[in-house]
Structure 1
Amino acid sequence: MKFIFDKITIYPKLVLTFLLVLIPLFLLSLIMNQYGSAYVKTEITNSMQSKVHFYNSALEKEFTRIIQLMKEFASYDDLDLLSNRSEIMSYYDQLTSFRKLQKELSVIKNASNYIKSAKVLIPAIDRALSDNSIGTIPKDEFAALNVVTNIYESPFIYWQDRLFISLPYPIQLNRLAPEFVVDIEISQELLKDALLQFTDQTAGSTMLVNLDKGWKITGEHAHDDFIKELSSASKGLQSMRIAGQNFLVAFEKSDILGTTLVMYELEQNALGPLRKFTIWFWMISGLSFILIIIVSYSVYRLIHQPLKNLVRAFRKVEQGNLNLTLDYRGKDEFQYLYTQFNAMVQNLQQMIYKVYEQKYRVQHAELKQLQSQINPHFLYNSLFILYRLAKKNRDENQIKFTKYLSDYFQFMTYNSSDEVCLADEVQHAKNYVEIQTFRFADQIEVVFQELPEACSHIMVPRLILQPIVENAYKHGLEHRQNGGKLHVTFVEQDDILLIMVEDTGKHVDEAVIKSLQKRLDSTDASQETSGLINVHRRLIYRFGADFGLALSRGLLQGFQVTLKLPMQ
């Protein structure tokens, strides 16, 4: 038997273990709880459903009677006279008709406790009559109540937190103006009081909701979550858990009113007879607790130890140790997990090498791309200056300019190595500045500090300083007529060299600087690769995430770019 048990996988072991332990207790508790719950729930269900049906029928009868009164009122001759023949009526006749209608409206208002007010709106004479007042028709109220509704299926209109029953007469399906509109406002306070009387439990309440139009009248302690959980059936009883408590919810939809009456009570109060089984429940719970300890120990022996070994191995992988393998002698699912773990570690080693190689190729490709993108604007300006100098007699300026330009293009097209010493990179940037000086001699003042001797032999990627200086001319200084300044400084901090390029270009807002720095630090490969982003990425690829570019506002109140390089 033990030999067979050892051969099966973990899942059947767990299933057999829990079934052997829990089935006897489950059957015992199930029989007891089903007996008690079935008896009490049957009584509660019948009682709650009967109450909901009774009160729903009472509301249907009451509001049907109100609608019938409205229909009878709509047939009065005085309404027809005022609506269609008011121009031939004398003032005294109109006043007499008003008084008659007010008496009838008073009768309608007093016919039900749910009626707050009764009105008739007559557009022909722009009058709104109630039982105690005569005034002009409120335009917004008339527009809201002049709605054709099926008063036998959904008579209510909910507008501005007020509840109405409206009867436009005659019904105009073509949206023409009616002769008059009879409207009854329902007192929500009295309706709420009636709903509170429907239940006698302090933890229960009643709601009248319209699920289609989204309005509700709720009693005290009402929860809106009951509405969301109601089923689509026309009536029934559900058990719901709301706000950490279990409730029994009975509901019935009225086909006459288009509303749903919802009644709910706290389950622990409603199912009082089940409390007699509490002692039995705790006895079974105590026995279950002892058995759970035994089962937990079995689970520990079967699952926890292999998982613990697997977690330890994963932690070693997180620390960078990829030279490990796991050995498992069993024939269950853990053997598969351990085998896949070993395969995963091997794949990680291969992927790391591939990713490193890919980054190197991307870096190399970006450098080649930067080398090939000689700025046409700069080239055209340089050729223009050569043209102007050529028209004059040969002088020292022409010789210098030609030499700087020659050195510049020689460095740009030199492809034998991806790295140069920092002294050559700085000299290339100086050549670029000297070329630009011929163009902006009277507009821009350049201060280019000497590179510290200790830093001249640092090996760096090609083209990391000149693109930043070019960016300062292009975006900060090119359009200045005079007073422009460009400073290039070198600062040594412990084992770090800072190269700061700042200008007196446009005033840059802090929010713009933060946005540019965010783009600079983004790892999104799909974004457009500008000169600054290209330089920043290549520095990170070469020296690590602690180095690269930082953007800020400089002492000259312009834009400042700082290159952070290791001195070793």
Structure 2
Amino acid sequence: MLERYNRLSTFVKINLILVMMLLPLLVLNYLSNQTSNKVVRNEILRSSETYLALLTNQIDTTMNQMSTFVLGMNRDSAVRSYLNYEVFQEPYDKLVVVSNILEKLNLNSSSMPWTNQIAVYSPISEEAISTSGKVIYDAAFLKEHMNTNWELLPEDYRYGHPYFIRHFIEPRYSVNRPLSSYQLITEITFPVYELVKSLDQFKNKGNVHDPFLFKPGEKAIINTSSNTAFINTMVDHLLDTKMSTSGYETIVMQNNKYIVTYQLSSALGWYLVDYVPLDEVLAPINRSSHIFVGSVIILVFLGLAVSYFIYRNVQIPIIKLLSGARAIARGDFSTQISYRARNEFYFLILQFNTMATQIKELIETVYESKIRLQEATLKQLQSQVDPHFLYNSLNFIQYSAKNHDEEAVISMTLQLGAYYRYATRLGEATTTLQEEMNLIKSYLEIHKLRMYDMDYEIVLPPSMNTVEIPRLILQPVVENAIVHGISNRSQASFIKVSAESVNEFHRITVEDNGPGLTSIEQEELLARIMHSSNDHNMCGLWNVAQRLILKFGEEAGVSMEQSSYGGLKLTLYWPNYDSKDGI
């Protein structure tokens, strides 16, 4: 992983670091937003439950108060005198009983916080007394609606709008019991708008709550400012919900989330429901989160812009400098970097281009010096070869003169003169292979004069006549074959010099029928020729190898093996550049 990171460019690394710095902020913002939403949601639930409990308690307290008043009034002696109403024969007595009951009813009714109506029924006498005077004894109505719990009834002659009704019966109420068997029935009613007023008062306290009363199978009771269609839609959702005594639900309506809390009124038997638009409440938090995310996005773009600025003004020139440095490392000293921006890197690249130009000029100067040095070395090597051959020739002339062999002296002198006319042309470092072979022929003729039992063969393909080689490159090799190969033989000796072109290389081989060398001796000698300096007594062959390498490069060299004639076979080889160029 670390290696992959190290391979990335600086531009990519900066962007990765920027993203890694901003990711924790986004994660923290997400976690903070979730925590805030959770806290606010819990606070909404707690607030709604508190408000609902307060309002439910107010409603239950009022209704229980009304029920208590009515229940206590049943115990009042004036009201209970209604049980013996039929006993009174005189109208005055009956009027006194009714007046006393009405006084008690009005007193209790006026002491209650809500508008109400109280009525007392006597099933025995089929009489009814009420605070409004509108109530009559209606056996059918009582049979249908008599209930010891609060019941919602539609508008009728009693009220011009819906109202709640409840009855208190003596003796205890039974469903199948006939109406005439009851001694006293007390009825209390109050209009629905009293509940609506309580809902309005609760809503108008400056909070976001919008409570309403709900009971399955009944029309919801809402406050005067509620959206009826919206409440009806919410009621439809609640009908699909299994509701307990109290709790809450999250409902999605019109693509918005609402937290709906409910509380059952124990006195009324209806659910007091409140809802809070969750999205609206959480809007400030979400808005802050969106502002933060937007700020992060802006920072990302600004960071990318800064990163691109750094990439353009730092990374690109660094890449150009690295590319230029690699080109110089490969040997391309003509490299020039193109860069136009006017900053610090412009002057650095300008200096780099100047340095590259100076290095190129210096390399060319050194190369020219090296060429001149090679030419001087070649001439020095030629000067080393010439005396070596001269010493051997003079020794032969001296030897022939002592033996009074005039023909050998004359022949040797002529051949030696011809040789030096060719060898002393130091202005020419190279010659053709044909001229070199002619020189070797003269050289072998000289040695044949000395060694009467010696013979030689020269093989030169016509296609190689014009091949250029360093002058006097073959003479030391032939001399080595004579001195170390056949000079000590008592039998007939033989030397063969041949040239050929094989596998894009030119080859010249010199082989003899002398005693030769073992494989180990060949390896040691070859190592000394190819890898040693001229500190050993091998000036001739070492000079030949060095001249070949200087002329034709590292691909040129010397090899040796056992000759088919029994002696040593030494081969000079160098690349055939004409053949390679042709390919």
TM-score by length of 1: 0.42
- Higher Rg: 2
TM-score by length of 2: 0.41
